[in-house]
Amino acid sequence: MRLLPSVLIAVSALGLTLSAAHAADKCPYHPRDTWIPIDQAISKAEALGYDVRDVEADDGCWEVEGYDRNGAKVKVYLDPVSGEVVKPSSWLSRLR
């Protein structure tokens, strides 16, 4: 009976570790005062051909949600200082 709590604690700790590692692979840390403004992030995403629907700060990146040129729903992460794409991901690919 004592094994179950130990297993739950171990699984929780692993989940938190993987969550932190996943967040870290998006954008390196930059102080918030060095970030490009949100309107500039929108312009950069639109220049790349994305139809932007929503932008917010997430895990140290600008997270852009919208549609690509083919009409597929996407979530794209932009480096907050350079505005370069760090991690694009299609929402369709997550459903497969």
Q: Are 77 and 58 in contact (CB under 8 A)?
A: yes
* Alpha-helical regions (H) of the chain: 3-24, 38-47, 91-95
Give pLDDT, residue 7. 46
Sheet with 51-58: strands ordered across: 51-58, 61-67, 73-78, 85-90
How much is the average pLDDT of 67-82? 95
Average confidence score pLDDT of the chain: 79
Q: What percent of the chain has pLDDT over 90?
A: 61
Q: Are 64 and 79 in contact (CB under 8 A)?
A: no
Give pLDDT, residue 15. 45
Q: Is the pLDDT of residue 85 over 70?
A: yes
Higher local confidence (pLDDT), 3 or 54: 54
Measured in degrees and rounded to the nearest 5, phi and psi for residue 74 equal -135, 160
Q: Which contiguous run of DSSP H or E holds residue 85?
A: strand 85-90
Burial class (CB in 10 A: 0-12, 13-18, 19+), 5: exposed
Give pLDDT, residue 2. 64
Give 25-62 pLDDT, tens digit per residue.
689 999 999 999 999 999 999 999 999 999 999 999 99
